[in-house]
């Protein structure tokens, strides 16, 4: 089974619409990365229903720690920086998506994080 994990900074106080947009950017960007390098995984994830989970961290530092853990495990990840058109300053790192990837590998890394 495959899933995608999206990790969001809760400390930014993003509105619901902003949060949804940032998670969408992360999901699509990471999916495209996996599709280019691991097409079989991308297609399996699509077939299985595109399972996702959105988790929260409380700081940019914590976000980078989990991003690095996932990258070190060989999981494709994509950081998202805001364009700065509305609530946040341009370049603010809001979230990242890991995968789609093997669910058990993602769970090993992100199991201590809480749902957003």
The arrangement of strands across the sheet holding 2-9 comes to 77-81, 93-102, 2-9, 52-57, 114-115
Inter-residue contact 76 to 93 (CB < 8 Å): no
Domain segments of the chain as ranges: 2-115
Beta strands in the chain (DSSP E): 2-9, 52-57, 77-81, 93-102, 114-115
Mean pLDDT by 10 residues, the chain (116 residues): 98 95 97 98 98 98 98 98 87 97 98 97
- Written out in words, the top-level CATH class of the domain with range 2-115 is alpha beta
Q: What is the pLDDT of residues 41-67, one digit of tens each?
A: 999 999 999 999 999 999 999 999 999
Q: What is the pTM of this model?
A: 0.95
Question: Residue 62, Cα to own-chain centre: how many angstroms?
Answer: 13
């Amino acid at each position: 089974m495959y899933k995608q994990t999206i990790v969001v900074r809760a400390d930014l106080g993003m509105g619901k619409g902003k949060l949804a947009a940032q998670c969408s950017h992360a999901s699509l960007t990471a999916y495209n990365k996996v599709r280019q390098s691991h097409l079989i995984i991308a297609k399996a994830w699509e077939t299985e229903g595109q399972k996702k989970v959105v988790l929260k961290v409380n700081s940019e530092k914590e976000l980078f720690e989990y991003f690095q853990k996932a990258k070190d495990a060989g999981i494709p990840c994509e950081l998202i920086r805001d364009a700065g058109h509305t609530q946040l300053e341009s370049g603010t790192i809001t979230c990242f998506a890991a995968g789609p990837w093997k669910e058990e590998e993602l769970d090993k890394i992100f199991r201590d994080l809480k749902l957003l």
